[in-house]
Structure 1
Amino acid sequence: MDNISINKANYLYWLGRYAERAYTTIAYLRRFYDEMVDKNQDAYLEFCSRLGVINNYRDKKDFVKRFISDEESEMSIAYYIGKTYDNGIVLRDTLTSKTLSYIQLACNDLKKCYNSQEYVVVNLQRVTDDLIAFWGAVDDYILENDARDLIKAGKYIERVELYNRFDESKNLKKAAIERLWRYAINLKINENTSRQVDFINSEDMLEYNSIKNYIDELSKWGVGQ
């Protein structure tokens, strides 16, 4: 981590978190949308509760429209994608133009969705595809190992947080924590420090909070980007 400033580390961390927040939230939105169509039109109320979103929506249609497109709300797909782009622009020299282009595509495809009044959630698949391509580009085109590992650490911290909110299975959460652990170990090895950081608890289980706190400290997450 010696070659990465605290400010840059913060942008890398939040790039990973916002990109994953957009990707995984879209997946949950599609799941709840199917339930709204097939079974319970008020299923979005549970979705809002799990994410901590204040329910000021008139009905299902209003929820879908605004949760996708309201750029002013910090609880919307548009906001998550916008913050991903903002962080990406700052990091464009690290990301490379190829990697950044997939974030731009996600922005464009999202705007096509709601500018044309296509608020059917299935149309978000194009944005999902762009984000998948972005993650592939992160692996292929970012040459700085620490930068790539910090982005991926942010990604898996966000995934675990969302898995907890939506009560995913222990196996899914365990798999996400194990991936996070691998990136944390890489960052720990490269950090020039003599301090001891233990990611294992007394039962030889990976300790998520210890890993998250370590990554948060590296990125000074409280600054927020």
Structure 2
Amino acid sequence: MEQLLTAKVAEHLYWLGRYLERVESILMETVATFDEIIDVDKSAGKKLFKRLEVEIKYKNANEFLYEAVLGEHEANIYTMLGYVRENAIVSRAYIDLNAFGSIVELYEVLKQANNDHLDIDCAFLDKLSSRVSEIWGELSRKQERNISDYFIRLGKLVEKVDVHLRLKRDKSFSLVVMEEIDNIVLQLNPDAEFVPHAQRESYDTILNSINAKINKIIVEQ
């Protein structure tokens, strides 16, 4: 795991992981919510994005898909993937070459879709999800882990907890993921000390604790 990283590179690797996980999570939630809009609750899409602190408008399920992917707001998948690309460019020397190429290629697909005002359907979202899964595979296929890989992994796990709590899901899952976060933090900083968390604690308390750990590690790189 011997590898020297600047704080800047470590931060970009971390946010690469976070934004890529966010893209994957929003894609999954969007497909599930599309079905809910059709079958159960027409306002389900608005409720989903409100939990992500975004207000969206749509007239039907198909318009919801377009808003989720290319809508004019900061939580759309196109914007999130742009952030993945930006962080990958800065840290490209530390990530798999194929993964970097796949990130750039996928961003160009969405850029073209945005320029062409493409109609978005579930088949398009399935293709995006498959490509994101492939990128994760390319990022994690090495037999030996470097420090850079752990920062990407941390980003993925922290975002997983963040989204899970924002969507008001079972906290027990988040606490299990936090155990893995703590294990990685310990590998990067053996002197780190942790305060255990319980399900009764608030979203803000849990996320603030995680962010404090991450910031301490990145600053000390």
- Superposed displacement of residue 157, structure 1: 0.6
TM-score normalised to structure 2 length? 0.82
Distance 1:216-1:107 versus aligned 2 partners, 3 A rule: same
1:88 aligned onto 2:83: no
**Does the residue aligned with 1:167 lie in a helix, a strand or coil?**
coil
Structure 1 residues 10-19 or 123-132, which shifts more? Answer: 123-132
| Matched-pair contact (CA < 8 Å) for 1:53–1:75 | yes
Correspondence for 1:193: none
| Paired residue total | 209
Correspondence for 2:148: 147
Distance in 1 between residues matched to 2:15 and 2:197, nearest whole Å: 31
| Matched-pair contact (CA < 8 Å) for 1:15–1:84 | yes
Correspondence for 2:216: 217
**Does the residue aligned with 1:46 lie in a helix, a strand or coil?**
helix
TM-score normalised to structure 1 length? 0.80
- Superposed displacement of residue 151, structure 1: 1.0
Q: Which runs of 5+ in 1 are unaligned?
A: 190-195, 221-225
Distance in 2 between residues matched to 1:81 and 1:156, nearest whole Å: 18
- Superposed displacement of residue 36, structure 1: 0.6
Distance in 2 between residues matched to 1:64 and 1:21, nearest whole Å: 16
Distance in 2 between residues matched to 1:219 and 1:142, nearest whole Å: 24
Correspondence for 2:98: 98
Correspondence for 1:54: 55
- Superposed displacement of residue 75, structure 1: 1.6
Q: Which runs of 5+ in 2 are unaligned?
A: 199-204
- Superposed displacement of residue 152, structure 1: 0.7
Letter in 2 for 1:106: L
1:9 aligned onto 2:4: no
Q: Deviations over 1:6-55 (max 9, x none)?
A: 11111111111110110111111111111011122221121121111023
Structure 1 residues 146-155 or 169-178, which shifts more? Answer: 169-178
Letter in 2 for 1:134: I
Distance 1:160-1:23 versus aligned 2 partners, 3 A rule: same
Distance 1:213-1:153 versus aligned 2 partners, 3 A rule: same
Correspondence for 2:196: 201
Q: Deviations over 1:200-219 (max 9, x none)?
A: 4388xxx9543431112333
Q: Deviations over 1:52-77 (max 9, x none)?
A: 1023x24344443133114x632210
Structure 1 residues 130-139 or 20-29, which shifts more? Answer: 130-139
Distance 1:120-1:202 versus aligned 2 partners, 3 A rule: closer
- Superposed displacement of residue 171, structure 1: 3.6
| Matched-pair contact (CA < 8 Å) for 1:94–1:142 | no
Q: Which runs of 4+ in 1 moved over 6 A?
A: none
| Matched-pair contact (CA < 8 Å) for 1:95–1:142 | no
Distance in 2 between residues matched to 1:179 and 1:24, nearest whole Å: 19
Q: Deviations over 1:126-177 (max 9, x none)?
A: 1111211211222224966111101110111111000001122234223322
- Superposed displacement of residue 117, structure 1: 2.4
Q: Deviations over 1:75-113 (max 9, x none)?
A: 210000111011111111111321212212432443565
| Matched-pair contact (CA < 8 Å) for 2:34–2:45 | yes
| Matched-pair contact (CA < 8 Å) for 2:31–2:122 | yes
| Matched-pair contact (CA < 8 Å) for 2:10–2:151 | yes
| Matched-pair contact (CA < 8 Å) for 2:157–2:177 | yes
